[in-house]
Structure 1
Amino acid sequence: MQHKRSRTFLLRSACVFLSTTLAGGIYPQLHAQQVPTSAPLPDSPAPQLNYPIAQLVTEPEDASHKLTVEADQMTRNGDDYTLTGNVEIHYNGYIVTAEKLSFNQETGEAVSDGHIRITGGPDDEYIAASHGQANLKQHTGKFYDVTGSVGVHTTAKGTTYTNSNPFLFTGRQVIQRGQRNYEILNGTVTSCQLPNPDWRLASKRFVVEDGQARGYNSVFRLLNMPVLFLPYVTHPTSPEERQSGFLIPSFSKAGSRKGYIIGEQVYVRLSRSSDITVGSEYFSVRGFSQLVTFRYKGNGLNFLTAHYTGLLDRGYHDSNGVYVNQGGQDFLLSGRKDLDEHSRIVANVEYLSSYVYREAFNDTFNQAVSTDVVSHAFAAYQKSGVSASLFGDRYQGLKNVVTGQQVRIIRAPSLDLDLIERRLGSSPLVWSFDASATGLKRAQQNFTTDGVIERLDLHPQISAPIHFGGWMARPSLGIRDTFYSRSRLPAVIPGPTPVQASATLNRTAIETGFEFKPPVLERTFAAKDLIFGREMKHTIESFLNYRYVTGVDNYTRTLRFDPVDVVTNTNELEYGVTQRLFFHKKDAPVCDEELAGNTRLTSGCGGMGESVRWRLAQKHFFDPSFNGSISQGRRNIFESTLDFSGIAFVTQPRELSPLISELRVRISDKTDVEWDVNYDFGQHRFTASNVFIDEHSGQYFGGLSFARLNAPGRFLTSPISDFTQLRVLLGYGAPNKKGFSAAVNSGIDLNAGQTQYGAFQVSYFWDCCGFSAEYRKFELGTVRNDNIYRFNFSLANIGSAGNLRRAERLF
């Protein structure tokens, strides 16, 4: 038999049915197989020769174009072939099945008189039709009574969407006019599972080409009820396609502060990797707000996002007849660019024009009450333990809510060099080095630095770590030399406002230290020794850190910008102990013990996990006055106390720091409890106490936090910082859980006896659409006392209508 070349393709569609070209498909020989033997067809087969089981296999040079055809019977008459019974074609990842299929080898014409089904492909495509015909060479064809999908993978375990734009459709007739060019007549499209989708678009005509499905004079049906007539609508069908256009308008009422809200946004796809959203909302009480969001996602970790919000506030008159305008702007930019495997550029920059604007109109409580704005950007190079960076940052903090007093600190530029610890030659010593050259500027009420203050800081260190029998000792020596181009005049009466001097300042500090850690003490208790019936291991870890710093005799002359500037003389000892309890989980294998040296090891303890951790730590100051650096009548923040406690506790000479206690108990995989306490022996009271409880059990979840602060205020002449707050979160469900979900949270000021904020959210989701509603309340003094009602109706892969955004949900 002569070999003949033929072209064929399996129908494929990015949104309706799969289409691919079997270009250059080769039919070398037809083999008729009758189990268990087979023999080749004769060179000139007689017409109407039937074989019980037939198979056609091609072996082209390109393995991806291998074609296999199987059927119960195969009949040939010249170039015409007829396959009957359990027809199955495999090609390039696709599978075509039919009861009867005929095709002409010369013209590529294929006709199915019965049901035909096509599955597979890179986009998990599927099409089923009652009958149809196609020209396998010209990529044209017609299918009737079609049901299909793209981006949906169905197995015995369930259905999974395999791309971001799953597309399901039905059609009385589907016409293929070319490769990836189709027309659906009297059909529907949806992103929901068939045959009973939650929503669908019905139209007499859909056109699919260039990664989009366009519908004309379509009707949007929700839960099989007609809701909206759309003269023209588009839907993306490509897995990576994002489509420009108008988003669903929003209309809502958000309390007395904003009034009725109507808004619209426009989404523009700039490229495959970037897009922008521009929108505006009209507040019937206050005026117009603006929103712009830009997004870019590059290769690897590269990205850039920018978000802007603003309000043109028409203002209002308060109870005293005073005009109040709370408008403002908030701009946030965040990005990263990796230049190579060692270099990158990173930025996180925010500009806020008014704290009142944030407090009055931000719908997230934590952001609404935040009084700090921090921006930073840097370019860094890191290789072989060396890090060099060009750094800049800006801090803006509100220090007095009543008067609006602010502090602004800028570090730009700052050239930093850091070398991690490394051995000094072949000796047991290790050394490290860090240095920075920085330009600094500070502005606050009644004080602004004169221009940019230059600072050069050099900090080499050397140490000798010693390990013996589980014991660890580490003596160290370091020198820190810091030069300032300006200084500060020592105040006769300590106060909050510094006075700048033109004289330069050089500070040289010598640091010595000694770290000491004994071996970890541990004991394993067998299950028979415990009432819990589970194996338990108890460990005790202790440490001592001694530190001595001298040479800082000009602290009161130092301008303060960051932790480098609050280095003082100190002579201190820090000590602490951490205890841990490890419980062997139920049904896990019992641990076997063995000794390695003087350390007890446990093996076979895959179920052993930390259940209790309790850490205690304190500092003793042998120099209570820090060489006279303490300013009487106010809080003092020094480098040695900055990171030790969450509160500033130095208001006068003292020998002991507060005792820090951190207790965490993991009751189960679903329940965590933590209690953090600061107890001040000088004040004889708890200055800080925080309790956190987190619980998850199935679909139920909850959380509770209790925060108590009773610490010195900014100045001793002002009231102490005294507040007690309680936060509660309770809920059932998940963000996209099918069916009903609900959650409630609240923040209560126990001192004032009022709720600062609260929210209650309910939602119900069907297969691919859902509805959420929320009530939210704010009580933030005279700036904001508002009740907000919001909702959101979402359609899978389409969008959402309403003013309840995902980032503000409680789940």
Structure 2
Amino acid sequence: MNRCGTIILLALVISLMPAPCSVFALSRDIPSGPVHIEAERVRYVSDPEAYEAEGDVHITFEGGYLDADRVMFDVASGEAEAEGNVFIKSDGDTVEGSKARFNIITKQGVISRGTVFFRENHLFLRGETIEKRGENDYSLLDADVTSCSGKSPDWKITGRRIDVTVDGYGTVRHGAFRVKDIPLIYMPYMVFPAKTTRQTGFLPPRWGFSSDKLGWDIGIPFYWAVSESADLTFYQRYMDKRGFQEGVELRYYLGENSFGTFYTDYLRDGMDVTSRTGDGELFRDWKDSHDRWSYYLDHETLFDNGINLMTNVKKVSDNWYFRDFESHNYYLEHYSEKGDRPFRRVDFEGDAYLSSLNSTVRLTKDWEQFNLTALGQYTDNYRSHSNDTTLQKYPEVSFTAMKQPIVDTPFDFEMDSTYAYYYRTAGHRGHYLDAAPTVSLPLNAGRYFRFIPELGIRETRWDAADTTDSRRRRDRQDNRTLYHVGATFTSDIQRIFSVNKWGVDKIRHSIRPEVAYRYLPYVSQDDRPNYVPFEDEENRVTYSVINTFTGRFRDEDGNVSYRELLNLKLGQTYDIREARRTLPPGADKRRPFGDIDAKIDLTPHPLFSLGGDLTLDTYGGDWKIINGLLNLRDPRGDSLRFEYRYTRDVVEQLNVDVHAKITDQLDLFFGRAYDEVEKRNLETRYGVLYRKQCWDTEFVLTDSHDDRSFMVIVTLAGLGRLMRVEGGVPGRD
């Protein structure tokens, strides 16, 4: 045929076997069914039936296509022999080389001096000979693997033979890890991940060193994908000063409304240790091996009828567990401040500062206007050698009625009620019953004012035993009846301003003043057990005002969004009882005005926010509380976080975190926590993150008042974390 641009398009209706799910992908639409051949020259061969194509050959088939300079295609077998700039792409990944024999039915073949590219994890495999043995299996001779683009990769793993299964693992025989062609580590046999979904196998190891507590600390976790709804992770950990610790995590997903996580670990600790806490409360002198363990269960089930079961149980073998393993443990690694991820909801930081843990089982039932909650709670106190005086809840049942209209009346009703059995080995324990209904009458005075008077009663009963003295137990039953009256007066005044500048369409300014009065008379409560909360008498007025600025924004496409720009609340309490207090000779002056409280949230721009709460001593004129948080970011990724915490005579602390994006490849981190009261550094962190197209490394140095440590993490793109090394730095006493 004519070479001057005539393209021969042959539609070959071939009865092909259904192709298995291939490991390749496509950047263009590929027709299904027939095979199409495009080339500058195509010649038909009758025996055996074949087509010989030459010049910019492009063959499409079900699920893929093949490009080459020359192709001989056998119609009966579906086998294509290609030469010159061979390129095969199908379902995502690519194979290219100088010469290939490829079957478009079985998706098997051999490629000479070729490259395989796995798109999902951006892996390149190069070899003198590449044999595609099955749907997802490759075998390469004189080969290398890397996730780096380009002809001179920053790193690669070379081997005499590499076998790889897509969405599984690869193995390297007689291999070496190379950086810029420089061999660093010889590996007679190595396994690497080539996964795009959950697969069973080893996870990246972790190395650490602690000269005083653990010695060399090595962890090699193994992940087992048990099924689509469950998996197991085994945490093998060796500490040369303590021994071998085995941990296991089970995650299960029984459905959208039922899931959970269970973890446990065990260590036969062989380290001899004598130590005492700084406050002298705890002391140990361990000369023999000790059993050290922990377990954790987090489970939630939401039933169709509105019943929700939540179980959160955690326990450790001894009060020293988190002190000894504070450098690394499962709970620190899986801590989540928000707890909004189903399988990462550890709600405490497992470090040396942890003072207690609450294990709870909670069953709730919700209606539109009511809630019933049954709670069982056990508390471990890690600051005391004994848990005998710690109060436990076996159980605590509460019933709550939300504020709601009373049928056919203008009144509203709400109620809080609780039954509990509080237990401790030594001290006050016993039954507790409390009910507090409240009736209110909302009244509107015109468009701008709302007045709500209310009346409430609180009845509390208890059946208590005092076991403080083990030789003498005292039982007592009693009750307490309280009532309160109150009223709230509010208004809400608004005005909308047109701006039409800086992307701001309009701003709404809302002013909400509020005055609230509450009276609760004095009732003697000297005989109550200490698990019954004390209710102080009240006769006070609280007044406050809230200013809110809300912006309406309109982008270039006309889309509208809203953001609160400023929320400022000021409030104070006036104590009528204090104002009327009788002053005997030499008594302190009356001080009926309470502290002035202020709270501010300022967000004039999505990249800038300022929040804080302050309390001013009305009579002393100085600040009791100052808490402020400043967050500043830019579109490039730089950020500054500055926090100041002050409570008079208790704490004054400065926290700062800086993230500087120096270049596209280099980030610097700095963080510091400083105790202004003790005039000492609590913790300073220096960090460097260097990233390239196919790898990154992070180095963090932490310097605290009693310890200095480092952490290095190296991650290879496509393969995951290569290593994590952490340990102590000499120089701290």
Match of 2:711 among 780, 783, 790: 790
1:373 equivalent to 2:353? Answer: no
Q: Could you say which residue in structure 2 is the equivalent of 1:410? A: 392
Q: Could you say which residue in structure 2 is the equivalent of 1:732? A: 660
Q: Could you say which residue in structure 2 is the equivalent of 1:613? A: 567
Match for 1:271: what amino acid? V
Q: Could you say which residue in structure 1 is the equivalent of 2:7? A: none
Q: Could you say which residue in structure 2 is the equivalent of 1:449? A: 428
User: For the residues of structure 2 that align with 1:726 and 1:360, how far apart are their CA atoms?
Assistant: 28
Q: Could you say which residue in structure 2 is the equivalent of 1:51? A: none
Match for 1:746: what amino acid? R
Q: Could you say which residue in structure 2 is the equivalent of 1:188? A: 144
For residues 106-185 of structure 1, the aligned pairs below 5 Å read 106-121=76-91, 124-150=92-118, 152=119, 162=120, 165-185=121-141
Match of 1:661 among 577, 587, 598: 598
For residues 549-698 of structure 1, the aligned pairs below 5 Å read 549=520, 553-561=523-531, 565-581=533-549, 606=560, 609-624=563-578, 655-666=592-603, 668-681=605-618, 684-697=621-634, 698=636
Q: Which runs of 5+ in 1 are unaligned?
A: 20-56, 59-64, 153-161, 490-494, 590-603, 628-650, 711-720, 780-784, 806-811
User: For the residues of structure 2 that align with 1:231 and 1:77, how far apart are their CA atoms?
Assistant: 49
User: For the residues of structure 2 that align with 1:731 and 1:4, how far apart are their CA atoms?
Assistant: 61
Match for 2:483: what amino acid? I
Deviations 1:166-225 (A, max 9, x none): 533222222233443332222222344454443322222222348332222222223432
SS of equivalent residue, structure 2 residue 526: helix
Q: Could you say which residue in structure 2 is the equivalent of 1:431? A: 413
SS of equivalent residue, structure 1 residue 115: strand
Match of 1:80 among 35, 43, 50: 50
User: For the residues of structure 2 that align with 1:80 and 1:342, how far apart are their CA atoms?
Assistant: 68
For residues 230-245 of structure 1, the aligned pairs below 5 Å read 230-245=187-202
User: For the residues of structure 1 that align with 2:189 and 2:577, how far apart are their CA atoms?
Assistant: 80
Match of 1:763 among 677, 685, 689: 689
1:248 equivalent to 2:205? Answer: yes
User: For the residues of structure 1 that align with 2:200 and 2:589, how far apart are their CA atoms?
Assistant: 64
User: For the residues of structure 1 that align with 2:183 and 2:200, how far apart are their CA atoms?
Assistant: 25
Match for 1:703: what amino acid? R
SS of equivalent residue, structure 1 residue 438: strand
TM-score by length of 1: 0.71
From the two aligned structures, give the one with the greater strand fraction.
2
User: For the residues of structure 1 that align with 2:601 and 2:54, how far apart are their CA atoms?
Assistant: 71
Q: 1:370: Cα distance to partner?
A: 4.0
Q: Could you say which residue in structure 2 is the equivalent of 1:200? A: 156
Match for 2:220: what amino acid? Q
Q: 1:357: Cα distance to partner?
A: 5.2
Q: Could you say which residue in structure 1 is the equivalent of 2:680? A: 754
Match for 1:787: what amino acid? R
Instruction: State whether residues 112 and 131 of structure 1, in contact with CA within 8 Å, keep that contact through their aligned partners in structure 2.
Output: yes
Deviations 1:44-83 (A, max 9, x none): xxxxxxxxxxxxx98xxxxxx4446251455444432344
Match of 2:72 among 102, 124, 147: 102
Match of 2:372 among 388, 392, 396: 388
1:314 equivalent to 2:272? Answer: yes
Identity of aligned residues (%): 16
Instruction: State whether residues 487 and 505 of structure 1, in contact with CA within 8 Å, keep that contact through their aligned partners in structure 2.
Output: no
1:71 equivalent to 2:53? Answer: no
Q: Judging changes above 3 Å, is the alpha-carbon distance between structure 1 residues 101 and 407 closer, same or farther for their aligned structure 2 residues?
A: farther
Match of 1:349 among 297, 302, 313: 313
Match of 1:473 among 444, 451, 467: 451
Deviations 1:238-268 (A, max 9, x none): 421433237435254x4x5448534232314
Q: Judging changes above 3 Å, is the alpha-carbon distance between structure 1 residues 343 and 222 closer, same or farther for their aligned structure 2 residues?
A: farther
Q: Judging changes above 3 Å, is the alpha-carbon distance between structure 1 residues 397 and 106 closer, same or farther for their aligned structure 2 residues?
A: same
SS of equivalent residue, structure 2 residue 600: strand
Q: Could you say which residue in structure 1 is the equivalent of 2:343? A: none
Deviations 1:629-662 (A, max 9, x none): xxxxxxxxxxxxxxxxxxxxxx999744322112
Q: Judging changes above 3 Å, is the alpha-carbon distance between structure 1 residues 251 and 673 closer, same or farther for their aligned structure 2 residues?
A: closer
User: For the residues of structure 1 that align with 2:619 and 2:93, how far apart are their CA atoms?
Assistant: 73
Q: 1:605: Cα distance to partner?
A: 10
For residues 45-56 of structure 1, the aligned pairs below 5 Å read none
Match for 2:533: what amino acid? D
Instruction: State whether residues 692 and 706 of structure 1, in contact with CA within 8 Å, keep that contact through their aligned partners in structure 2.
Output: yes
Match for 1:463: what amino acid? S
Deviations 1:93-124 (A, max 9, x none): 53444444333332333222333333352xx3
Match for 1:456: what amino acid? L
- What value does the CA root-mean-square deviation take over the aligned residues? 4.5
Match of 2:517 among 523, 542, 546: 546
User: For the residues of structure 1 that align with 2:457 and 2:277, how far apart are their CA atoms?
Assistant: 61
SS of equivalent residue, structure 1 residue 130: strand
Q: Judging changes above 3 Å, is the alpha-carbon distance between structure 1 residues 397 and 726 closer, same or farther for their aligned structure 2 residues?
A: farther
SS of equivalent residue, structure 2 residue 395: strand
User: For the residues of structure 1 that align with 2:51 and 2:478, how far apart are their CA atoms?
Assistant: 97
Match of 2:216 among 244, 261, 272: 261
Match of 1:483 among 461, 465, 469: 461
Match for 2:546: what amino acid? T
Q: Could you say which residue in structure 2 is the equivalent of 1:227? A: 184
SS of equivalent residue, structure 1 residue 106: coil
Q: Could you say which residue in structure 1 is the equivalent of 2:730? A: none
Q: Which runs of 5+ in 2 are unaligned?
A: 1-11, 333-348, 582-587, 728-733
Q: Could you say which residue in structure 1 is the equivalent of 2:3? A: none
User: For the residues of structure 2 that align with 1:605 and 1:134, how far apart are their CA atoms?
Assistant: 52
User: For the residues of structure 2 that align with 1:304 and 1:625, how far apart are their CA atoms?
Assistant: 56
Instruction: State whether residues 72 and 81 of structure 2, in contact with CA within 8 Å, keep that contact through their aligned partners in structure 1.
Output: yes
Q: Judging changes above 3 Å, is the alpha-carbon distance between structure 1 residues 309 and 610 closer, same or farther for their aligned structure 2 residues?
A: farther
User: For the residues of structure 2 that align with 1:266 and 1:607, how far apart are their CA atoms?
Assistant: 46
Instruction: State whether residues 738 and 764 of structure 1, in contact with CA within 8 Å, keep that contact through their aligned partners in structure 2.
Output: no
User: For the residues of structure 2 that align with 1:205 and 1:337, how far apart are their CA atoms?
Assistant: 49
Q: Judging changes above 3 Å, is the alpha-carbon distance between structure 1 residues 766 and 656 closer, same or farther for their aligned structure 2 residues?
A: same
User: For the residues of structure 1 that align with 2:607 and 2:218, how far apart are their CA atoms?
Assistant: 42
User: For the residues of structure 1 that align with 2:226 and 2:536, how far apart are their CA atoms?
Assistant: 55
User: For the residues of structure 1 that align with 2:507 and 2:69, how far apart are their CA atoms?
Assistant: 66
Deviations 1:734-766 (A, max 9, x none): 9xx952222222222222222122222223222
User: For the residues of structure 1 that align with 2:77 and 2:277, how far apart are their CA atoms?
Assistant: 87
Q: Judging changes above 3 Å, is the alpha-carbon distance between structure 1 residues 477 and 533 closer, same or farther for their aligned structure 2 residues?
A: closer
User: For the residues of structure 2 that align with 1:344 and 1:395, how far apart are their CA atoms?
Assistant: 22
Match for 1:704: what amino acid? F
Q: Could you say which residue in structure 2 is the equivalent of 1:519? A: 492
Q: 1:684: Cα distance to partner?
A: 5.0
Deviations 1:322-347 (A, max 9, x none): 99659976654433334447343323
Q: Could you say which residue in structure 2 is the equivalent of 1:599? A: none
Q: 1:269: Cα distance to partner?
A: 1.2
